[in-house]
Amino acid sequence: MNRQPELGGGGSRTRGGEKSSDRLVSGWRVACLRVPSFPVQALRRSCPELAETPLAVAAGPTPRDEIVAVSAEAVALGARVGWTAAQVRQRAPGVKVAVTPPEVAAAAAEALADVAEGFSPRLRRVAPGEVWLDVAGVVPLWGSEPRLAGEVLRRCRRVGLEGCVGVASSGEVARVAARLAEGVSEGVVVVPPGQEREFLAPLPLPVLDPPPAVLATLARWGLATAGEVAALAREEVALRLGREGVRLHRLAAGEEDGAFVPDLRPEELREGVPLEFPLTSLEPFLFVLHGVLSRLAQRLEVRGEGFADVFLELGLEGGGTYELPLRLVAVTREVAAVQAMVRLQLEAHPPGAPVEEVAVRVVPGRLRLVQGSLFGPPQPAPGKLAQALARLAALAGTGRVGAPAVRDSHRPDPAAVVPFAPRPVAGDEAAQQPRGGPVLRRFRPPRPVQVVTVGSRPVVARLGRWGGVVARCAGPYRFVGEWWSEEPFARDEYDVATADGTVWRLAFDRLEGRWWADGVYD
Amino acid sequence: MAAVAPLADAAQPVAEVLQRLREDTRRWARRELERPRLDAGAPELNRVLGGGWPVGKVGELLGPDSSGRTTAAMAAVAATTRRGEVAAWIDAADAFDPPSAQTAGVDLQRLLWVRVRGVEGAVRAAEVVLEVGGFPVVVVDLVGVHGGQRRQRWHRGGRGASVGSLRLRLARAAERANAVVLVLSGHPWAGALAGAVVPLAGRGGRWGGDGNGSLRWLEGVALEVTTAEVEAGERVGWRAGS
């Protein structure tokens, strides 16, 4: 029996179809980016060594937990979604059963959202491994919707995920198109505007993912395709199948599913990985860290950003945590430079317990772009300079690389380091002319010096085997300040030439009553 | 048994080889003389150096304290930043004084200051900077950092590079980047790999005022240059004062 129930007249169907079509033509264009077998792909992204392993991902660690995703290799060995972990182990012994840790799945989902954000600022994460993008308005940038979808997939591969894309005038239809795209070689299915109903009409109902009870009822009525459901009157469907029935009817008719409400994206990126056994030494830890940083660098690349601030978050044996903040000298995407900085910091500040979990949180920053001058002198390329600054910071230490600056203070040694960002040459820029004067080589820290004085003036100055009788002396230059603070200073400085030809800057600390050598003029 | 050529027969090829060597040396000398020069920032130094520091070479400023090594290097850096270019100061001695540099005319925003530790770290930092390109002059301050040529190896955790390999790396990096690397040192460091060596003799300070109980001030450091520049295959002695 394939008799359809009489649920309404043709007028109602036509009216519904027209309404739907009018709204679709003037409405959204939504691309659904979907990653098939997402738990498997998320796990493989985090553990690349599992790339060739037949894999079945269970919902939990117990043997009774259900398998939620299987790899193609596991399917070939007979494993199926919906089995329990125990069933897979018994019936397909060559398949490895694993659990995708929540943080690994979350990081992969964020990576997918990063890819989507590279194409449209309006995106919505509807499920793990599935993102909808509002692409109305951005298609002209790429020429056509298939080209846009192809580029989305290419960038998706760069973050270690294989996806497929469906484009339609509503998110639900785009999702159906994305599911069908799994069987298409290009991985892309585009539904032309206004043709959603025609596209869906021949498709079997399970493709629309209705609730099992609704599907069973429709099967009893003899309805097998979306087109047959769309032909029903909505009011009658609502009477008999309720809210779920109306939702299915709207979907089958290819109607819009409400306003596209985009998600708010977090500013920070996070990637982490739990370890199978605690790590106690630095080298294996850095090996694990390299994978985490590489995945972050891939995500930053698709966002067009780089590492600005990095926070290393370690889970320690015994339940403790350890957070290490790293501030980079310049925004960079070079993993080796960030890793070198982590190495230096961990060597200086070890966590103090075996590490069980590694996570890295990143505050992204925009890479520096500079418009060079056509007629000005050549300048370092900003990208290469940023990488070099990060490598130098790893070599010399944070706060020891940058442009020198002079603090607005009369304290001794007013040197400071600020970020090195040379400004481009301006046409009306007046060159700074040298005022002339002695050049000091600083002792850091100042060295205690033995001084013999007559009155208050030094007549003999000796620093180790250097120095001697003072041949010439200028000064004192008195500096007194910050008497209102907890670190006041009061010192008399002298420029002194000793008999061996060396010219010193000596200072008498009036608060301590001691002589210091600030440096030597050279 | 191989026949041994008589000495008279061997003389001809030896003469040819010597002739070829002479020609190669002259050609090399011509090329070195035509090498572009970087403004040293002071007319006296430019005159001593034959137009400036040789580009693509390591220049060495040697001398005791108060001989003016830092003043001379800062003059080159100031001239570079005045042209709108950037420079780097690899400060292994941790002695760089920004107020002095400002007084010398250095545009601090165009100077990269790297406070690295050790000779090996300084050479590595210089290599990193030179790889970027766009830095026509890189100063490597090694005053008081190394122990002279007698000390051939620095060990750090069981590893370390010899002085010979470090100076070779620095010379190659300068050549590749087509930049001037100025090494400040108390003793000869770059050796034969230096394109220009400027030994400075400490002559004390230049003082203002009469000093007879009235005001006196330090105007600068007197530079006495005794250059033995290895160029065109011969050593030329210069003597100048400023």
In 3D space, the residue among B72, B113, B68 whose CA is nearest the CA of residue B94 turns out to be B113
B77, closest residue in chain A (CA to CA):
A434
- The answer to which of A190-199, A331-340, A488-497, B115-124 has the lowest mean pLDDT is A331-340
Q: Which residue has the higher pLDDT, B208 or A111?
A: A111
d(CA B144, CA B153): 16
What is the predicted pLDDT for the residue at B212?
Answer: 59
Residue A148 pLDDT grade (very low, low, confident, very high; cuts 50, 70, 90): very high
Tokens of A239: 């009477």
A440 contacts on B by Cβ (under 8 Å): 97, 99-100
Q: Which two tokens stand for residue B169?
A: 């790396």
Q: A with B: how many residue pairs have Cβ under 8 Å apart?
A: 202
For residue range A463-504, list pLDDT tens digits in order: 887 778 888 888 788 888 888 888 889 999 999 888 888 889
Distance CA A221, CA A200 (A): 19
* Alpha carbon distance, N-terminus to C-terminus of chain B: 69
Interface test with chain A among B66, B106, B212, by most A beta carbons within 10 Å: B66
Average per-residue pLDDT for chain A: 84
Interface of A with B in 404-423 (CB under 8 A): 404-406, 413-417, 420-423
**Would you state the pLDDT for residue B124?**
92
Total Cβ atoms within 10 A of residue A277: 9
* Whether residues B158 and B84 fall in one domain: yes
Q: Is B220 on the interface with A (CB under 8 A)?
A: yes
Q: What is the DSSP string of A109-176?
A: HHHHHHHHHTT-S-EEEEETTEEEEE-TTTHHHHSSHHHHHHHHHHHHHHTT---EEEEESSHHHHHH
The pLDDT of residue A258 is 67
Closest-approach residue (CA) in chain A for B186: A522
Annotated domain spans of chain A: 275-431, 440-521
Instruction: Find, in chain A, the residue whose alpha carbon is nearest to that of B209.
Output: A474
The three-class DSSP label of residue A471 is strand
Interface check A442 vs B, CB under 8 A: yes
Closest Cα in chain B to A401:
B114
% of chain A beyond a pLDDT of 70 = 90
* Number of folded domains that form chain B: 2
Check CB contact under 8 Å for B105 and A434.
yes
Give the pair of three-digit tokens for residue A160. Answer: 């270690």
CA dist list (Å): B126 to A69, A410, B84, B89, B94 = 52, 32, 21, 9, 15
Chain A CB within 8 Å of residue B23 CB: no
Most confident of the following: A224-238, A319-333, A363-377, B225-239: A224-238
Specify the residue for token string 């820029």.
Answer: A429
Query: Which pLDDT does position A301 carry in this prediction?
Result: 86
Alpha-carbon span B117 to B104, nearest angstrom:
25
Please say if the pLDDT value at position B221 is more than 80.
Answer: no
Note whether A344 contacts B: Cβ–Cβ < 8 A.
Answer: no
Tell whether A427 lies on the interface with B, counting CB pairs under 8 A: no
Distance CA A392, CA A46 (A): 30
CA distance B185 to chain A (A): 12
Rounded to a whole number, what is the distance in Å from the CA of B156 to chain A's nearest CA?
A: 14
Output the pLDDT for position A151. 92
Q: Tokens 């002479």 identify what position?
A: B22
- Determine, for residues B66 and A501 on separate chains, whether the beta-carbon distance falls below 8 Å: yes
Please, which pLDDT band fits residue A24 given cuts at 50, 70 and 90? Answer: very low
Q: Does A403 touch chain B (CB under 8 A)?
A: yes
CA-based nearest distance B132→chain A, Å = 6
Cβ within 8 Å, pair A404-B124: no
Q: Chain-wide mean pLDDT for chain B? A: 80
Residues B127 and B194 placed together within one structural domain of the fold:
yes
In Å, how far is B81's CA from the nearest CA of chain A? Answer: 9
Average confidence (pLDDT) over B161-171: 85
Q: Over 70: is that where the pLDDT of B87 sits?
A: yes
- Contact B109/A423, CB-based, under 8 Å? yes
The pLDDT, as a whole number, for residue B236 is: 37
Residue A13's pLDDT is: 36
Q: Count CB neighbours of A157 within 10 A.
A: 12
Element at A356 (helix H, strand E)? strand A355-366
Of A263, A361, A274, residue with least CA distance to A313: A361
The residues in B 168-207 lying below 8 A from A, measured between CB atoms, are 202-205, 207
Query: Among all residues of chain B, which has the CA nearest to that of A504?
Result: B66
Comparing A18-32, A158-172, A427-441, the range with the smallest average pLDDT is A18-32
Residues A223, A201: Cα–Cα separation, whole Å: 12
Q: Residues B24, B92: one domain?
A: no
Q: What is the pTM of this model?
A: 0.64
**Nearest by CB: B218 against A376, A431, A503:** A503
A159 has pLDDT over 80: yes
Question: Does B114 lie in the same domain as B60?
Answer: yes
How high is the pLDDT of residue A402?
A: 92
Confidence of residue B127 (pLDDT cuts 50, 70, 90): very high
Phi-psi region of A129 (alpha: psi -120 to 50; beta: other; left: phi over 0): left
Q: Taking residues A354-365, what's their average pLDDT?
A: 90
Residue of A nearest to B117 (CA): A396
What pLDDT, on the 0 to 100 scale, is given for residue A86? 93
Q: Which residue has the tokens 């130098």?
A: A392
Instruction: List, in order, residues 6 or more apart from B199 with CB less than 8 Å away.
Output: B62, B63, B225, B226, B227, B228
**Is the Cβ of B118 closer than 8 Å to some Cβ of chain A?**
no
- Hey, are the CB atoms on B103 and A436 less than 8 Å from each other? yes
B contacts of A421 (beta carbons < 8 Å): 109
Nearest to B112 among A403, A433, A473 (CB): A403
Whether the CA torsion B161, B165, B168, B173 is positive or negative: it is negative
Residues of B in contact with A443 (CB under 8 A): 95
* CA closest to B185 among chain A residues: A522
Which residues fall within 8 angstroms of residue A204, CB to CB, at 6 or more apart? Answer: A224, A225, A226
Asked whether the beta carbons of B99 and A405 are under 8 A apart, the reply is no
Q: Which residues of B touch A471 (CB under 8 A)?
A: 204
Backbone angles phi, psi at B180, to 5 degrees: -100, 130
**Chain A contact for B94, CB < 8 A?**
yes
Contact B203, B161 (CB under 8 A): no
Cβ contacts of A425 on chain B, cutoff 8 Å: 84
d(CA A176, CA A189): 9
Tell me the C-alpha distance between A290 and A46, whole Å: 11
Sequence-ordered strand ranges (E) for B122-192: 137-141, 180-185
Do residues B72 and B12 both lie within one domain? no
- Hey, which residues 143-182 in chain A have their CB within 8 Å of chain B? none
CATH of the domain at B140: 3.40.50.300
Which structural domain range is residue B1 located in? 1-34
Task: Kindly report the three-state secondary structure assignment for every residue of A280-315.
Answer: CCHHHHHHHHHHHHHHHHHHHHHHCEEEEEEEEEEE
Task: Tell me which chain B residues have a C-beta less than 8 angstroms from the C-beta of A521.
Answer: 66, 205, 218, 220-221
Our CA-based measurement puts residue B75 at a distance from the nearest CA of chain A, in whole angstroms, of: 9
Kindly list the residues from chain B whose CB atom is less than 8 angstroms away from the CB atom of residue A417: 113, 115
Tell me, what DSSP letter sits at residue B66? T
Q: Are residues B4 and B50 in the same domain?
A: no
Whether residue A464 lies within 8 A of chain B, CB to CB, comes out as: no
CA distances to A468, B105, B238 from B207, rounded to whole Å, are: 19, 20, 25
User: Do B30 and B48 belong to one domain?
Assistant: no
CB A93 within 8 A of CB A133: no
Query: What gap in Å lies between CA A221 and CA A37, rounded to an integer?
Result: 33
Beta-bridge partners for A425: none
Report the pLDDT value the prediction gives residue A507, as an integer from 0 to 100: 92
CB of A11 within 8 Å of a chain B CB? The answer is no
- B43/A contact by beta carbon, under 8 A: no
Interface of A with B in 486-505 (CB under 8 A): 495, 497, 501-503
- Is B19 found in the same domain as B4? yes
* Cβ–Cβ below 8 Å for B218 and A438: yes
Q: How confident is the model at residue A22 (pLDDT cuts 50, 70, 90)?
A: very low
Q: How far, in Å, CA of A489 to CA of A508, rounded?
A: 11
> Is residue B20's pLDDT more than 50?
yes
Q: Report pLDDT for B195.
A: 86
Residue type for position A522: D
Mean pLDDT within A137-141: 86
ipTM of the complex: 0.80
Specify whether B87 is located in the same domain as B13: no
- Residues in chain A, overall count: 522
Q: Does B123 touch chain A (CB under 8 A)?
A: no
B174 and B72 in a single domain? The answer is: yes
CATH T-level fold of A275-431: Dna Ligase; domain 1 (3.30.1490)
Q: CB of B209 within 8 Å of any CB in chain A?
A: yes
B157 lies within 8 A of chain A by CB: no
Beta-sheet pairing, B217-231 with B194-208: antiparallel
Q: Span A133-149, mean pLDDT?
A: 88
What would the pLDDT profile of A54-67 be if each residue is shown by its tens digit?
999 999 889 999 99
Q: How far is CA A194 from CA A10, A173, B198, in A?
A: 20, 11, 81
